[in-house]
Structure formats: C-alpha cells, structure tokens
C-alpha cells in the first residue's frame, strides 16, 4: 500500500506517535492533517524521550519529509520552539525536511488567552481543553476572520491584520472574560520575529503531496487525538475542534478521494481519556491509580492525569466502522500484567435497553452502565516478546477476544514503551 492513515480509536493518547515512528521507516513523507499543538506524541528512542506536539513523529528518521498541512492550526511560536528543540538534539530541520502549508491557520496569543479565560469562567462546567487556543483558532477559521500563513507574505498587511483582530479580542477578554488584555506592540513584535524564521518552510503542501504520490512515494498520514474526540462523531461537546478521523485526510491535506489505501486504528489494551465528558468503562480507586502510574498516564502536552477504564469494545467498533479501518494496533499490553481478572466492556445498559453500539444521543452515555465480560489475566513479563507465540496463554486469549469483538485484524501489539517493543503482525506498507 502507498498511502496509509493512522487514526486514534479512543479518546486520544493511544500511542499513535510510536506507531507512526515505526511505520515511518517504510514511508517517504509523513503528514499531519488536523489539530494543533494540543496533541502530543511521546516516543522513546534508544532510551531518550521525545515529546512532539506539531512536527510529525517521522521527523526522528533521517531522510524523511514531514508536512504540516492545511487542515492544521499552528502556533508559530510553539513550532519554532519545537524546531529549536530538534536542533539542540543534533537534528536540524531544514525546509527540505519540514514543509508548512500556506493555507494552515495560525494559533495566536489571543486565542490562547481566550481559551484559558473561557475555561476559568466556566468553572465546574469547563470542557477540559488544554488552554492552547486550538478551539478559538478554529472558530476564527470558520468565521473567516482567522489569519493563515499566506498572510505572512506582506509584512505591513500582516501586522495590520494582527492589530485589528487583537483590538477586537482584547475588548472580549477585558469586558466579558474579565482577564488581562494583551499588549499590542509586544504581541506584534513577537509574531513578526517568528514570521522571518517561518517563511522558508512555507509550501503548497497539497501540490507537494500530489507530486510525491505520482512519483510512487509512500505517504503516511498522522492523525491527532482520537475518533471519540472528533467534533462530529465524538462525545460532543467534550471533544476537540477538528475532525480526527480518516475522512479529514482529504480536506485537511488535499488528498483526492479514493487515494487513501488503508486506515490503521490505534487503541490501548485498556481505555483512557483526559478532561471532562462521559466515560462508561471508567474505573477508580487503587487499580486505576496503579494503571495510571505504571502506564505513565499523564498528558504529554499538559501533564494532567488521565482517567482510566477497561477496554471498551463498543467505542472501538464505532471508530472502526466510521473509518473503514484496515487493522488495529493495540498498545500498552504490558501495563495489564499482574491483574488477576480483566474486564472488557462489550455493551451498554441504559435503563431497560442494551446497546451494542454507541447510542444515537451522546448525552445518553452519561447514563450508560457498562456490560462486562471477564477474562483471566497473566503475571508473566511480556516486554521481551517478539511474536504472539511468546506471549502468555492468557494474554493471547485476551487479544483473541478483542479481535473478535472489534471484528478487524490486529496488526501490531505494543509490549513496552521503547521503539522496538512492538510485535508487528502486519505492516500496511508491505501488505
């Protein structure tokens, strides 16, 4: 297969970065097609930890081209910080290595201020955003008042647009949100300095991808977040501000319909989510605390502790159906080691009715009681396994049952945090 998309099948944080890093070995171009720096992918390479928020995970492989495409909203300051962090580690990213779409929208300081001000004002009704300004940036995009990277071409006009927007946003910040307005000159100066460094990376990324595919290059599309955080198909309103599924590749990267060969879904061997919203299979207490610590379940972008739950086959099937997934990569199997009895959510009970699919109203999920199946656990170490046969019998049974419930092939099994701690059963680029 030539074009492959990696999509989260839960509420994000499924380990997409690690899978993208593995698949990038066989790809030529790696593309982010939505979201912003509210997503973060954590990788462990030769014992060294990398946290990537905007730059695709494939950037850790030499000779690859990484693309930030038009469907993204990009904080230019955050992007330059990330480029600088690569340079400090001996990996300078040139405009040949990294390409940024002229049509991507900017996340600006006033977007961050509005995001944080709204969350503070909402109090207990807050959605639980990262506060990085992603939602307000997408709002401006849809209101046709946002700034795109193409606006950087004309410096005086760029400064004028920033000032005009900033005066309006400052009024909103001061009068409604009751927070400190931003300093206009200081903000403009910082963005003009960023402009000088960003411009060499700008590119018509849709045309670049068209040519790359025509030349026979393999292209990997890296999704951010997960399907249950999708603005249309997730647990609205507790979602992100973009489409997280594979269909967003077409609009978000300029890929023509029919040009995507496969979608690989990513799911943990259990379930987590960050922020507010329904979570039917959520657990609490000592076991949840243990899984959180053992699995390092704290937000890569924010440090917030993640909520913990059993594997939810209902929501993963929902993601598989919406995305036409070719296969599923299951991560963090090792974290379940030592649990005597494992549970898998196979349905929801809402009042007197059972649901084997996500109910039509997301609000109904707040009343959903999980219907569980129980499976025996294992105590043997799985972190050195390189094949299914090397896994404990009960671990194999657990995987078999998840495969049956999800109705799709298991392509990869993660057994540890390191880059190579993955059992690869099928690779879509060589399938």
Cα–Cα distance measured from residue 358 to residue 330, given in angstroms and rounded to the nearest whole number? 21
Cα–Cα distance measured from residue 79 to residue 5, given in angstroms and rounded to the nearest whole number? 23
Cα–Cα distance measured from residue 68 to residue 203, given in angstroms and rounded to the nearest whole number? 10
Omega within 30 of 0 (cis) for the link into 237: yes
* Catalytic-residue membership of 41: yes
Largest CA distance in the chain: 67
Nearest to 115 by CA among 57, 51, 45, 169: 169
* Catalytic-residue membership of 13: yes
Q: What does DSSP assign to residue 44?
A: E
Residues across the chain: 431
Contacts of 361 (CB under 8 A, 6+ apart): none
Tokens 């993601």 map to which residue?
Answer: 319
312 phi and psi, to 5 degrees? Answer: -110, 100
335 in Cβ contact with 289 (< 8 Å): no
Residue 202 bridge partners (DSSP)? 100
Q: How many CA atoms lie within 13 A of 162 on its CB side?
A: 27
Which one is catalytic: 21, 28, 41, 111?
A: 41
Tell me the helices (H) and strands (E) count for the chain, helix number first. Answer: 11, 21
3-state secondary structure of 314: helix
Which one is catalytic: 13, 28, 115, 312?
A: 13
Query: 334 burial class (0-12, 13-18, 19+ CB within 10 angstroms)?
Result: buried
Tokens 């290595």 map to which residue?
Answer: 97
Nearest to 30 by CA among 67, 70, 73: 67
28 in Cβ contact with 65 (< 8 Å): yes
The dihedral of CA 78, 80, 83, 85: what is its sign? Answer: negative
Tokens in use for 7?
Answer: 């999509």
- CA triplet 32, 38, 42: central angle to 5 degrees? 70
Strands 48-52, 219-222: pairing kind: unpaired
Cα–Cα distance measured from residue 221 to residue 112, given in angstroms and rounded to the nearest whole number? 27
Residues with a known catalytic role: 13, 41
């Amino acid at each position: 297969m030539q074009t492959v998309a990696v999509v989260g099948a839960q509420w994000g944080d499924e380990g997409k970065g690690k899978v993208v890093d593995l698949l990038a070995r066989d790809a030529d171009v790696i593309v982010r097609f939505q979201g912003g720096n509210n997503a973060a992918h954590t990788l462990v390479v030769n014992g060294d930890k990398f946290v990537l928020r905007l730059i695709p995970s494939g950037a850790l492989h030499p000779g690859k081209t990484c693309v930030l495409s038009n469907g993204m909203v990009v904080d230019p300051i955050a992007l330059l910080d990330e480029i600088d962090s690569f340079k400090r580690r001996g990996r300078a990213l040139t405009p040949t290595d990294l390409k940024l779409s002229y049509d991507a929208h900017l996340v600006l300081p006033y977007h961050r201020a509005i995001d944080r001000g709204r969350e503070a004002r909402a109090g207990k009704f807050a959605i639980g955003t990262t506060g990085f300004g992603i939602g307000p940036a997408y709002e401006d995009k849809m209101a046709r008042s946002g700034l795109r990277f193409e606006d950087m071409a004309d410096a005086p006009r760029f400064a004028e647009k920033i000032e005009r927007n900033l005066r309006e946003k400052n009024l909103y910040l001061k009068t409604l949100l009751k927070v400190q307005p931003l300093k206009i000159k200081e903000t403009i100066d910082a963005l003009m300095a960023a402009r000088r460094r960003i411009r060499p990376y700008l590119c018509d990324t849709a045309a670049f991808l068209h040519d790359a595919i025509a030349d026979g290059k393999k292209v990997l599309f890296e999704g951010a977040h997960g399907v249950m955080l999708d603005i249309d198909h997730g647990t609205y309103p507790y979602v992100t501000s973009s489409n997280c599924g594979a269909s967003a590749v077409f609009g978000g990267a300029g890929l023509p319909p029919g040009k995507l060969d496969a979608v690989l879904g990513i799911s943990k061997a259990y379930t987590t989510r960050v922020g507010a919203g329904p979570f039917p299979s959520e657990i609490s207490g000592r076991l949840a605390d243990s899984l959180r610590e053992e699995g390092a379940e704290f937000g890569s972008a924010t440090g917030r502790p993640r909520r913990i739950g059993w594997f939810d086959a209902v929501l993963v099937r929902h993601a598989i159906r919406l995305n036409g997934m070719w296969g599923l990569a299951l991560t963090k199997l090792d974290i379940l080691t030592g649990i005597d009895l494992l549970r898998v959510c196979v349905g929801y009970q809402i009042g007197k009715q059972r649901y084997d699919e996500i109910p039509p109203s997301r609000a109904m999920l707040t009343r959903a009681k999980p219907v569980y199946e129980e499976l025996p656990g294992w105590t043997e170490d799985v972190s050195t396994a390189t094949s299914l046969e090397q896994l404990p019998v009960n671990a194999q049974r657990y995987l078999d049952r998840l495969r049956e419930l999800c109705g799709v092939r298991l392509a990869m099994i993660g057994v540890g945090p390191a880059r190579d701690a993955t059992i690869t059963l099928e690779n879509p680029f060589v399938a």
